[in-house]
Chain A
Amino acid sequence: MIIVFLEHKAGQIKKLSLEALEMAHQLASTEGISYKAMVIGNEVLSPNPGNYGAKELIRIATNEKLSSDQIASVCFNVVQSLQPKYFIAGLSTLMKGIGGQIAIKTQSSLISGVSAFRRDSGKSIFKKSVFSGKAFAELSPISDKTVLTVMANCFNSTIKSEELATENTMTFGIPSAKIQSIETRLIQGKTPLTEAAVVVSAGRGLKDPSNWGMIEELADLLGATTACSRPVADVGWRPHHEHVGQTGIAIRPNVYIAIGISGAIQHLAGVNNSRKILVINKDPEAPFFKAADYGVCGDLFEVVPKLNQAIKKLKN
């Protein structure tokens, strides 16, 4: 049996959790086993996990917002009492923190950041990105239980049924929190970079921070989140939380549009898992063209405004 851990925000299930549910669905049908979802909290979930294939939802009822150490304890208890073959969750910030803890405390194997799996000689083999996107590793668990965390944008969740999941409540004594949350400062309005399906990113080629309007406009037109290269964040043209690359945030959108970024290897390390890459750069020798699917060699100050105009015209 598989347990899928669902993360939600005020009842809204995170996209990454639905992708984890999709992976569980595929793995369950490949191995001929069943899967159930679990959630912490009392909120009514949207969408209903039943629509995405989970016939049963285990609810750990609580009105409190739990800290990561408390969530780890709940997951530990669920795994200990139900003994699932796989415990699957999205590779979120939360899971980066507690995935290893759950694995160690439940004597499970851990494979984190799974992007695909295959079956070979009666074994499930899981694939993940290593060497900052320059290679993949295939791993197989040895323990009888395994914690799997799923990389974003790798499994397409689809609606499978109109049925709602049957809910069953489980109760555990939750230990008092060891970590106190003081405040959370969120950047308003945009999909976080790690979850964004489309990212429009710009670099030094923009020449001045006042030129970012056209980048933001393109991002708005495409429903994308904006990002930037390291030099631009370092000089303060753009906020640090927008920096993608080796030392910044590693992303994996469906489409990455890089404008005025040369494509230094440190930048590529954070973005080369993007499914499709479009590069706009005036330097024909820019290394980014070698990593791109589509390239425009031209002056961004001409190409981008014209592109924005054309998209606007079509959308109207």
Chain B
Amino acid sequence: MKILVCISKTPDTTSKISFDSSGKKFIEEGIQYILNPYDEWYALVRAIELKEQLGGEVHAIHVGSGSSDMVIRKALAIGADIAFRIDAEPIDSQFTSTQIAAFAKDKSYDLILLGKETIDYNGSEVGSMLAAMLDMTYLSYANKLELDGQKATAHLEVEGGVEVVETNLPCVISAAKGMAEQRIPNMKGIMDAKKKPLEVLSPVPYTPTVEYIQFILPPSKTQVEMIAADDIDRLVSILKDDLKLF
């Protein structure tokens, strides 16, 4: 079983988000970067569990500059065997997909796993694009994944419930909460990670298909209207007249 896990780095959830005055550039100063939780907790850990169960290798791939090496080492500490970094700052999701597809196309992976989204751009786009570029089947938002021979069975989050599906490997699967339990790297893992290979590769040429015009911060909430706890009449009138709920 040869599994590729796509890992991304994202600002920590608690980060204050700001942009320069042109609105074009995200201000990185003071930002703490983490391994994207969906990639780490679910996709990577499930890949490692499958390797423990079935044997094989887990490869991690990241598209980013040298400043990402910290989060890549974490993936190695959790249990990936080898990591690859495409040395380029991602411009958009198709850029990232193009780079990963170019890397993976002749490597005969049985399974490519990634988080259902990154918590910064929330696009859910890379998995879908990557699958199309590699001409592989794509299962999105899986919260459970089992392999049996060349068959994958997954529980997918759909509107209002879960759909159980089967498909043949190789395929690309995006991971949602529930696919695995978070693992904290132990001391041995952290020491081993320093010796594991982290290969740096050059990006392939790319022509963007979308232009980022600007980023905008949402208007700050106007002052919250506080209603006294015993003023049920006002509360009812808000629900009925302002919000028109009944």
Q: Which of B120, B124, B127, B236 is the most central at the interface, judged by chain A CB atoms within 10 Å of its CB?
A: B124
- Residue ID in chain B nearest A309 by CB atoms: B232
The number of chain A residues touching the other chain, given as a range, is: 35 or more
Checking B125, B137, B141, B216 against A100 with a beta-carbon cut-off of 8 angstroms, the contacting residue is B125
Decide if B164 is an interface residue (CB 8 Å cutoff): yes
Q: Knowing A136-B218, A139-B210 touch, does A297 contact B224 (C-beta < 8 A)?
A: no
Residues from chain B with a CB closer than 8 A to the CB of A99 are 125, 128
B210 touches A141 (CB 8 A): yes
Distance in angstroms between the alpha carbons of A140 and B212 in the assembled complex: 7
Which chain A residues in 53-97 approach chain B with CB under 8 Å?
Answer: 67-69, 92-93, 96-97
Decide if A198 is an interface residue (CB 8 Å cutoff): yes
Residues from chain A with a CB closer than 8 A to the CB of B37 are 246-247
Decide if B217 is an interface residue (CB 8 Å cutoff): yes
- Residue ID in chain A nearest B236 by CB atoms: A310
> Can you list, as one digit per residue, whether each of B156-167 has a CB less than 8 Å from chain A (1) or not (0)?
111111111111
Residues from chain A with a CB closer than 8 A to the CB of B167 are 178-180
B13 touches A100 (CB 8 A): no
Checking B132, B225, B229, B245 against A223 with a beta-carbon cut-off of 8 angstroms, the contacting residue is B245
Decide if B191 is an interface residue (CB 8 Å cutoff): no
Residues from chain A with a CB closer than 8 A to the CB of B210 are 109-111, 139-142
Which chain A residues in 276-316 approach chain B with CB under 8 Å?
Answer: 276, 278-279, 289-299, 302-303, 306-307, 310-311, 314-315
- Residue ID in chain A nearest B157 by CB atoms: A93
Residues from chain B with a CB closer than 8 A to the CB of A181 are 163-165
B122 touches A296 (CB 8 A): no
Decide if B131 is an interface residue (CB 8 Å cutoff): yes
Q: How far is the CB of B63 from chain A (nearest CB, A)?
A: 16
Q: How far is the CB of B176 from chain A (nearest CB, A)?
A: 9
- Residue ID in chain A nearest B176 by CB atoms: A247
- Residue ID in chain A nearest B158 by CB atoms: A93
Distance in angstroms between the alpha carbons of A186 and B156 in the assembled complex: 12
Checking B14, B125, B211 against A142 with a beta-carbon cut-off of 8 angstroms, the contacting residue is B211
Distance in angstroms between the alpha carbons of A192 and B213 in the assembled complex: 34
Distance in angstroms between the alpha carbons of A131 and B121 in the assembled complex: 6
Which chain A residues in 115-153 approach chain B with CB under 8 Å?
Answer: 125, 127, 129-143
Number of A-B contacts (CB under 8 A): 249
Checking A100, A240, A294 against B178 with a beta-carbon cut-off of 8 angstroms, the contacting residue is A240
- Residue ID in chain B nearest A300 by CB atoms: B229
Checking A67, A141, A294 against B227 with a beta-carbon cut-off of 8 angstroms, the contacting residue is A294
A295 touches B159 (CB 8 A): no
B121 touches A100 (CB 8 A): no
Residues from chain B with a CB closer than 8 A to the CB of A241 are 161-162
Q: Knowing A93-B158, A112-B125, A297-B229 touch, does A143 contact B13 (C-beta < 8 A)?
A: no
A92 touches B209 (CB 8 A): no
- Residue ID in chain B nearest A138 by CB atoms: B213
- Residue ID in chain B nearest A131 by CB atoms: B17
Which chain B residues in 172-196 approach chain A with CB under 8 Å?
Answer: 177-178
Residues from chain B with a CB closer than 8 A to the CB of A136 are 215-218
Distance in angstroms between the alpha carbons of A111 and B211 in the assembled complex: 10
Distance in angstroms between the alpha carbons of A221 and B38 in the assembled complex: 36
Q: Knowing A296-B226, A296-B235 touch, does A194 contact B159 (C-beta < 8 A)?
A: yes
Decide if A10 is an interface residue (CB 8 Å cutoff): no
- Residue ID in chain B nearest A255 by CB atoms: B243
Checking B38, B137, B215 against A179 with a beta-carbon cut-off of 8 angstroms, the contacting residue is B137
Distance in angstroms between the alpha carbons of A154 and B100 in the assembled complex: 33
- Residue ID in chain B nearest A243 by CB atoms: B177
A296 touches B215 (CB 8 A): no
Q: How far is the CB of A97 from chain B (nearest CB, A)?
A: 4
B interface residues, Cβ below 8 angstroms from A: 11, 13-14, 17, 19, 37-38, 93-94, 97, 119-133, 137-141, 153, 156-168, 177-178, 208-218, 221-222, 224-230, 232-233, 235-236, 238-240, 243, 245-246
Q: A137-B121, A143-B209, A198-B245 are in contact. List 8 more A-B contacts (CB 8 A).
A: A93-B158, A100-B128, A101-B132, A135-B218, A183-B163, A223-B245, A243-B177, A315-B246
8 closest A-B pairs by CB: A298-B229, A100-B128, A192-B160, A186-B161, A104-B132, A97-B140, A100-B129, A101-B132
A interface residues, Cβ below 8 angstroms from B: 67-69, 92-93, 96-101, 103-105, 108-113, 125, 127, 129-143, 178-187, 190-195, 198, 221-224, 240-241, 243, 246-250, 254-255, 265-266, 269, 276, 278-279, 289-299, 302-303, 306-307, 310-311, 314-315
Contact sample, A vs B, 30 pairs, CB 8 Å cutoff:
A93-B159, A98-B138, A99-B125, A100-B97, A101-B128, A103-B94, A109-B209, A110-B94, A130-B121, A132-B122, A134-B217, A135-B19, A136-B216, A137-B216, A138-B216, A140-B210, A142-B211, A178-B168, A186-B161, A187-B161, A241-B162, A243-B177, A249-B157, A265-B13, A269-B119, A298-B228, A299-B229, A307-B236, A311-B239, A315-B246
